[in-house]
Amino acid sequence: MKITLDRELFQQAFQTAQAVAPSRSPKPILQNLRLDATEGGCVLMATDMEVGVRIEVAGVEVHSPGSIILPLPRFGSILREVSDEKLHISSEESGTVVKAEHSRFVLSSENPDEFPSVQGFSETKYHEISARTFKELIRRTLFATDNESGRYALGGVLLEMESDKIISVATDGRRLAKMEGPATAVEDHGNNENMTIIPSRAMQLIERALTDLDATVKIASRNNDVLVSVGSATIYARLVEGRFPKWRDVLPERQDATIIDLTVAPMFSALRQAAIVASDESRGIDFTFGSGKATMVSQTAEVGQSHVELPISYDGPDLEITMDHRFVAEFFKVLDSEKQIQLYMQNEDTAALFTTDDNYEYVVMPLARDR
């Protein structure tokens, strides 16, 4: 194999692919990347057998087709440290040779036939959604997944694909994030019998690949895996096994709730102030809404107390609830500071429901108010 590549363009693809390669693996060759060069172009691949990515790399001139294995740390260092616009790569008996104008490197090479190929996107049934919308679906739900408890179905984001929309849901059992956005089903593509639960790590990779927000994303859900086409990249992921909770049953009823209008920036600022004295053991903050103000109180025996008030439009009877300040803060973090939100509350024993005007809902379960 012999190619000449644009270093900056290749580095962008390399950075996306290296996020997939495992730092440790029973199959050591997977700790590298595979590069295939054909007369039709150049493809960079990485996989840990659960998640994989295949990227068509622009700016590559193929002089002689072939495949090579790129060692991650060493080749990554070359891309960072060498400032030349072009790099020349060839496969020789001594190894993989990388040449720049004033430098030359010979890297040990492995047999590319031992590296599994990552398939491209050739599905005829899929959903189409704008990259901008899909990025928001991921950003506003991914943080609510559970990757620590061993409840595998909660370690990913559920996608429910209907004829005209995609619903994204994530929960860790103590809070739940749900958002929906417009989408189009091609050739009647929809959820199969298995749930489409995409692993958190794959969703992180997909979000990172969504750089052109005006692009169209293709999502094909199959029996055991999912393929996502994002520009020049195709991302493969095995679906998370298990049954996702009946999330619709978790959403609180709205008809008997009191609606409180809030703005993200001032509420987030007041929450951060109240959380100054919180600790890992004492995460609950007491919220009281009423008489034209929101009051947040926190108390930790070894640290101290905080009492923060914020003027709001709601001037009805006091409503109280204790919530984990981290869960509320993570909701505010994924919203624009000027965003208007509505809080639906019934009492201190009922989950709080936060909503926005763009089909985003966030549920936080209350904590016991013991002080």
pLDDT at 285: 95
Q: Which two tokens stand for residue 303?
A: 């640290």
In order of start, what are the domains of the chain with their CATH numbers?
2-114 (3.10.150.10), 126-247 (3.10.150.10), 251-364 (3.10.150.10)
User: For residue 312, how many C-alpha atoms fall within 13 Å in the half-sphere facing its CB?
Assistant: 30
Full strand arrangement of the beta sheet holding 86-92: 60-64, 2-6, 86-92, 95-99, 104-107
pLDDT at 355: 98
On whether the CB atoms of residues 278 and 302 are closer than 8 A, the answer is no
Helix, strand, coil percentages, rounded to 5, for the chain: 20, 40, 35
Per-residue pLDDT of the chain (371 residues), as tens digits, is 999 999 999 999 999 999 999 988 889 999 999 999 999 899 999 999 999 999 999 999 999 999 999 999 999 999 999 999 999 999 998 899 999 999 999 999 899 999 998 999 999 999 999 999 999 999 999 999 998 777 778 999 999 999 999 999 999 999 999 999 999 999 999 866 668 999 999 999 999 999 899 999 999 999 899 999 999 999 999 999 889 999 999 999 999 899 999 999 999 999 999 999 998 777 899 999 999 999 999 988 888 999 999 999 999 999 999 999 999 999 999 999 999 999 999 999 999 999 999 999 999 999 986 54
pLDDT at 371: 46
